[in-house]
Structure 1
Amino acid sequence: MSNSDDPLFEMFQTEAGGGIRTEWRWRLIDSDKTILAVSPQGWFRKEDCEQSIAAVKRAAAGPIQEEPDVARMDRLLDETIDEP
């Protein structure tokens, strides 16, 4: 059960391509509306944005790594850049 003080995800739409279309984005906010995190990109489909939120939730449930695996981070960045 969520507490009203728990951070929550907000989904919203922004203009993209010079206002020709919209993109779905998310932000994670706390109870004071302080932005804790933002989506790294926008998605044209709401479902894709929801999948991104689900991925962040899964990652947040995992262990905290103090010294990141730089090679893994580079691979993730490459995959993100290669996406259409």
Structure 2
Amino acid sequence: MTALRQGGPDGAQALLTARQTEVVRLAALGLTAKETARRLGISKNTVDEHLSEARRRVGATTKSHLVGWAVASGIVPG
């Protein structure tokens, strides 16, 4: 199992771009990649790339793992 990067909201947000943070927040709200894409005016593939890169940056293995990390880090309300 991969260890997730730690940090409070400031440290956690420093790991992700503003767009990656926005996409992770929408994923945490339960939006699909297609719904997120529509809301942000970007393609579904771009949403998937943002989520993939965010997972890589924090060491998460799945989208659920990423969302859990975001909640624990305080960048997404729990």
Q: Name the larger-Rg structure.
A: 1
TM-score in terms of structure 2 length: 0.28
The higher-RCO structure (CA 8 Å, 6+ apart) is 2
TM-score (norm 1): 0.27
Q: Which has the higher helix share?
A: 2
Q: Which has the higher strand share?
A: 1
